[in-house]
Every structure is written in C-alpha cells, then in structure tokens.
Structure 1
Amino acid sequence: MKTSITCLVLFLVLFSCKKEDKLTFEPLVITQHECADCPEVSISIPNAIEQTKLTRTINRTLKEEIISLLLYDDDLEATTIEEAITSFTHGYTELREEYADETAQWEAKIDGEKVYEDDVLLTIELNTYLFTGGAHGYGSKRFLNFDKKKGTELENWQLFKDLENFQKYAETEFRIKESIPEGKPINSTGFMFERDSFYLPENIGLTKEGLKLLYNQYEVASYADGPIELTLPYSDVKKFLAAKIKS
C-alpha cells in the first residue's frame, strides 16, 4: 500500500510539472512625468525572469521594440529603454522651444501581455498609443511570436507550413467577414490594399480564441475605420500551421 501511494504521488508531481511548463513573468513598469511640460511616458510589459536563451530573446525583443517606438533622433543609438525615453523627451523639448504656443504635450503608453503559450509557442501582444502632436494620436498593436524550443523569435512566414494556401483561405474568410462579393476587387467596398490585391497583415498572432490577423490603422483602411481584425479558429487553420496548436 505504501508503494502504491508513493507511485501515485510521484505521478502527480511529474504530471503537474509537465502541465505547468510555462514561463514565469514579472511586470516591468517604467513611468516618466517629471513636470507639467514634460511628455508623459507609461510602459508596462512582461519581463521573463528565468535565465535561458528563450527568456533573453523575449526580453531583448521587447526592449528593442520599445526603443524603436520611442527613439526620436534616428542618429542616436539608444541601447536602453531609458535612453529612448530621453530621446523622446528631447524631441518634445526641441519642438516646444521652437513652437511654444502650438505644441501639445506628447504622450506614450505601451502595454504588453502574454496572450498565448503552449509547450512550443508563445505570443506577446504589445499595445501602443503615441501622441506627438497633430489632430490625434496613433494606436497600434504588435504581435511577437516565439519558438520556445529554439529560443528564437518567429517571423510570420515561419508560423506556416503552407503559407500560399493559407493566404487563399484567409482572403476567403476576410471577404466573408467584410461582405466583399466574390469575384469583385478586394478594394471594391472601400479598402485600400496596394495594387488592389489581398495580402496578409504585418501582424499575425496566436491567441486563446484563434489565429488573429490584424491590420493596424492606415494599413488597409482609413484612420476612421480603426484596426481591422480577423480571428480564425484553430480547427480551421491547423492544417496550414507549422506547429500543432493546443486549442
């Protein structure tokens, strides 16, 4: 009886470890609002705490994305988020000194969260809002996909084993969702695809609900139309994907 109990406990421990093969993240929060006339910067992203090739890749990728968003001076080589914030602040200060009565306060809000993880794949969603003057700010979303086994970031095409047929399938589903008649040009209802031909968005991400295709504002439609999203069930797209998805 003692042996049976020991085996059961061992089984439960091993099963639990296998089931909970997830990365551990802690929030990384950076804010700056030093004075009434300074840009307001708010950053909150997940920070992977284990020390592995994968976690280093994730943290480095997030840092590089944020630096590219905030870097105002292209000639400056920022290596940290703080240096990028300094560049963003200098850009605002220079513009305000030149146009004191016309420069509205700049703002940057960047939030990230894990939206999908299984044994092989991980997706982090990065939401950004930037205001640097003008009639309105600009919000955008970025999906960052990672191969957990190889410890690398994935390009969109690497998510698929049959990209060509996936694009054909995605166009069919896009037309259905957006009520674009079959046989009519993709832009016949007001979209702005280049060369009037359907193409996949720059952002494709894994989510709990399915594979999400995201066209940010201005990508294929006007600002007023907002982002264009299409979520495809894993049961329908698994035949196109390079990895098996646990849906």
Structure 2
Amino acid sequence: MINKNFLFAFCCLLFLLNCKEAIKTTFSDVTISTKNNDIVAINIPQAYGNETIITNINSEINKAVATALHIGEADSIPSISTEESIISFNKEYQSFKTNFPESTQIWEAQIDGEILHQSPEIICIAITTYINTGGAHGNLNISFLNFNSETGHLIPNENLFKNMDTFKKIAKTYFNETIKDNDYLFDSESFELPQNIAYNEDGIVLLYNTYEIAPYASGIIEFTIPFENISDILVFNGSY
C-alpha cells in the first residue's frame, strides 16, 4: 500500500508545479521620466510574471517607445532603454534650440499605453503617441502590439487568422459602412487592411492612422468586427 504521507507530498508537489507553470502575466501602469526632463511624458504598461514572457513583452513595448522618440532615419533606431530614449529626445531639442535660437517652438512628446485585451492565448496592447517637434500640428499615432500569451512573442497580423483573404473580404464590408459618409475620399476598389489589427473586448478592431489611407482631414478611422461574425477564422481564442 502506498504511504499516505508520500501520496500527500506527491500531490502537493504536482500542485506547486502546475501553479508555477500557470503564472499569469499581469500589468501595472508605470510613469517613466528622467532628471531635467519636462517635455516627455510616458505612461505605459509593464508586464510581470514569467521572466521569459515578460522580458519579451516589455522589450517590444520599449522598442515602440524608442521608435516614437527617435529623431532621424527609421532604419537607424538604436536599441536603448526608455530612459535613454527620453534623454536622447531632450538632447535633440536642446540642439534644435541652439541651432535656431529665434524659434519659440517647444517640443513635446506624450506616450500612453493600454491593455486592449488579455486572454490565456493572446494579449493586445495599444501604444498611443503624440509627438510635436514643430510644424502646423503634432503627429498622433496609434500602434497595436499583439502578443502570444504563452511566449510573449509578437504575433504578425497574418498569423491572427486562418484565412487572410476571407478576413479581408469581411473587413471590407465593415470598412465601407464606416466610411460611407466620406466615401468620396476613398477608392473602395483598392481596399487594403490597416497596419493595426488587434483584439478588444468586443471583437477584432482595425485602425487606420492619419495619412495611412486618406488625407489628414479624415483623421483616424477605426471599426470593430464582432467576434461572433469571424470566430471560425480566428487562430486565437479571445475568451477570458
């Protein structure tokens, strides 16, 4: 007969192992700044939990911040921390003031992040940035980051769906309905999916940033396709 104490200890060990494997990724909003910084404000989610998973997620969020604050060619964005990105942006502003002392332009940068959706299979985060370095208006941009909940790796848009062509056909009908009052600005025959596609609480949200498919006056275009209308072509389960 199996010793009862041994059986109890064995069950406890299995329980602890299962708990360790099931560590849930959680998020906390953090505000990041540096000494002598008064032009950059950053409030972003920071992941906690399994070390490998959260390292992947936090690294991609940091890359999004670095990209937003980078001044220069897009292909020369350095791999630096958020604090270093803030310092670099401030240095660029100081250089601008030195080179153009007569300018009264004050630079500013606001970066905010939010969790759009989180399930055991997928985590979706939106990063909203507003950068003003002069000109008629600042630049507002929203980026969606989709992560595999089990690995923390980014999920390309094409890997969100079992059949991308089918999804595109469905998305086009919702797009046409969204822009029907401004259809003169768009060529419905050349419809393309946006760069930003993600899960939210109600379904799959698609977002076109300003200038992505239309003039500045059209602003941001956003619409959501309910889960029940595309559940059969979704790769990831959005249920909590």
Structure-2-length-normalised TM-score: 0.83
Please tell me the root mean square deviation across aligned C-alpha atoms, in Å: 2.6
2:140 aligned with 1:145: no
Residue among 229, 234, 238 paired with 2:231: 238
Residue among 207, 211, 215 paired with 1:218: 211
| SS across alignment from 2:144 | strand
- Could you tell me whether the CA contact under 8 Å between 1:29 and 1:43 is conserved in 2? yes
Match in the other structure for 1:157: 158
Task: Indicate how the Cα distance of structure 1 residues 222 and 100 shifts in structure 2: closer, same or farther if over 3 A, else same.
Answer: same
Identity %: 34
How far apart, CA to CA, are the structure 1 residues paired with 2:38 and 2:223? 34
> Displacement, 1:140?
1.2
Match in the other structure for 2:89: 88
* Larger RCO of the pair (alpha carbons < 8 Å, separation 6+): 2
2:19 aligned with 1:24: no
Is there any run of 5+ residues in structure 1 with no aligned partner, and where?
1-16, 181-186
Match in the other structure for 1:204: 197
> Displacement, 1:220?
1.0
| SS across alignment from 1:25 | strand
Task: Indicate how the Cα distance of structure 1 residues 133 and 100 shifts in structure 2: closer, same or farther if over 3 A, else same.
Answer: same
> Displacement, 1:33?
7.7
Count of residue pairs brought into register by the alignment: 221
In structure 2, give the amino acid aligned to 1:168: K
Residue among 186, 191, 194 paired with 2:186: 191
- Could you tell me whether the CA contact under 8 Å between 1:126 and 1:143 is conserved in 2? yes
| SS across alignment from 1:104 | coil
Task: Indicate how the Cα distance of structure 1 residues 199 and 152 shifts in structure 2: closer, same or farther if over 3 A, else same.
Answer: same
> Displacement, 1:39?
5.6
> Displacement, 1:72?
1.9
Structure-1-length-normalised TM-score: 0.81
How far apart, CA to CA, are the structure 2 residues paired with 1:41 and 1:76? 18
Greater helix share, structure number = 2
Is there any run of 5+ residues in structure 2 with no aligned partner, and where?
1-18
| SS across alignment from 2:162 | coil
> Displacement, 1:73?
4.7
